[in-house]
Amino acid sequence: MSNAKRRAIFLDRDGTLNQDTGYVHRAADWRWLPGVPDALARFKAAGWLLVVVSNQSGIARGMFGSAELHALERWLDEQLTPLGAAPDAWRHCPHLPEITGPCDCRKPAPGMLLRAAEEMGIDLAASWMIGDRMRDARAGLAAGCRAVLLRSGWGKREAAAVRQSLPRTPVLPDLAAACAYILARDA
């Protein structure tokens, strides 16, 4: 049996996979961003693990519970499995420091990525973090991954700051462009 570690694409959720309309926790409110299911399928076909890592402070705020969030994730898996695009894992941080106190999992902290890497045998140095916020890129870099910022979601507002603060982090239009970028480097 091989002890080889695997590569992963860590993905933010809101603003990266779906339209960030605020505290999305029901299937009825989910709206895919263009090209996302296809990009996920392309990553999977190329042998990458997909791990969604998402801050979900709506739980700490009492807006919804973990059970509702897990129900949404199961629904998403049902939509993506026939396409060969279902994530291998869903991770979320339910905390909000003002309410729950500090934690090591709320991005930009790397806790969600580090725990997933340990549990799933992921080589962080061979992996990527993709998101639409500076905190996503910072979490990926802190975990030892490479990072990509998308201009979808919040990325339109944060692109200039990322270019200045994290000049080696590519800023790309959307997940399809990030997929093409990463797969081209992997060839």
Catalytic residues: 12, 14
Q: How far apart (Å, rounded) are the C-alpha atoms in residues 96 and 90?
A: 19
Long-range contacts, stretch 94-102, CB < 8 angstroms, 24+ apart:
94/56, 94/57, 94/59, 94/60, 94/66, 95/57, 95/60, 96/57, 96/60, 96/61, 99/60, 99/61, 100/60
Provide the β-strand partners of residue 63: none
